Copies of this chain bind each other. A is one copy, B any other.
Amino acid sequence: MLARYALAAGAALCLSVMPLLADPLPSWRDTEAKARIVAFVESVTDPASDQYVTPPDRIAVFDNDGTLWAEKPFYFQLLYAIDRVREKAEADPSILNSDALKAAANGDVEGLLAHGKEGLLEVLAVSHSGVSVDAFQADVRDWLESTRHPTTGMAYNEMLYQPMLELLAYLRDEDFSTWIVSGGGVHFIRAFAAEAYGIPPHQVVGSVGPADYEANGAPAILKEPGIFFINDKAGKPLAIDSRIGKRPIFAAGNSDGDFQMLEWTTAGDGPRFGMIVHHTDGAREFAYDRESPVGKLVRGLDEGPDRGWLIVDMAEDWGRVWPVSP
């Protein structure tokens, strides 16, 4: 009996010390949110658990704007597009041939949005087309390096959520594949996703514009005006099916544009996890939900808890927000 007691004491010592040494989510406070995430991951990765999921089926999908990085005052891709319209108009004012483009060049985002989808397509046509994919992504990286956010003064690609970076790494350490499933443009996100999130290009699923394959001279993929596929709302489960070909077991989002992705993910058999990042932290980040023009969150708040989805309270559940102090 003495030997067994000694063994038990040793095991208890290990159990109490190990988590402190190897907390995979140090920027998450010790609230229910963190406990639920860890309990889920531990159950689906434990071969002895009836909740065990084999690694190829450990698919985790993440919205990007407002889930992995910030989206205020407006989607960063839109701020990029507006910057580029303004720059091009300085060189050639004749390109401002619509009220939407004039609003964009004046930095009047609300005025631009008043023109709806048509206005946005005009801005995208000027800023996102007539260029090769390679040149476009180089330009996006230039912009990310040289531009600063209007209120935080941080580079846009510093405005990543440290707790979500830790969650991505934790899941990958546990043999999940991590995917971005975003309404943002796939070429835009890929320009920084590998460096920012450790997510390779093929695991970025986004909205897609038309493109043309040009083989006179050195072959190139050229971005064209218009929109081919909008990866939002019901488009997200459709893109997951078309691109990943399996139903995820873990999905995280922050707005009602993610509702169907979480619904599709969590309606599957076996263990499932749905998470909504709720922007409650006006002091460290931004506080918004039901009334916001970006990241509008109504149905997720109303129905999410009853569906078993975790509503992450940024102010309460996150010990820090940014990777680097602003």
What is A's interface to B at a CB cutoff of 8 Å? 56, 133, 186, 190, 200-202, 204, 208, 211-213, 215, 218-219, 221, 234, 237-238, 241-246, 260, 263-264, 267
The reply to whether B245 and A215 form a contact with Cβ atoms under 8 Å apart is no
Do the beta carbons of A234 and B263 come within 8 Å of each other? Answer: no
Q: How many subunits of this chain does the assembly comprise? A: 2
Chain B residue with Cβ nearest A179:
B202
User: In the bound complex, do residue B208 and residue A244 qualify as a contact, i.e. CB atoms below 8 Å apart?
Assistant: no
Closest B residue to A246 by CB, please name it.
Answer: B201
Cβ contact within 8 Å between B242 and A200: no
Whether B202 contacts A243 by the Cβ 8 Å rule is yes
What residues of B have a CB within 8 angstroms of the CB of A234 in the complex?
A: 212-213, 215
The CA of A241 and the CA of B221, in the complex, are separated in Å by: 8
Q: How far is the CA of A218 from the CA of B269 in the complex (A)?
A: 11
A301 to chain B minimum Cβ distance, whole angstroms, is 18
Please measure, in the bound complex, the distance between the C-alpha atom of A243 and the C-alpha atom of B206, giving whole angstroms. 10
- Contact of B213 with A245 in the complex, beta carbons under 8 Å: no
Which of B56, B190, B264, B267 contacts A245, CB < 8 Å?
A: B190
The reply to whether B264 and A202 contact each other, CB–CB distance below 8 Å, is no
Cα separation A144 to B77 with both chains bound (whole Å): 46
B215/A260 in contact, CB under 8 A = yes
User: Does B264 contact A201, Cβ atoms closer than 8 Å?
Assistant: no
Task: Specify which of B204, B213, B241 is in contact with A211 (CB 8 Å cutoff).
Answer: B241
Given the interface contacts A221-B237, A267-B219, does A260 sit within 8 Å of B201 by beta carbon? no
Q: CB distance A219 to B237 under 8 Å?
A: yes
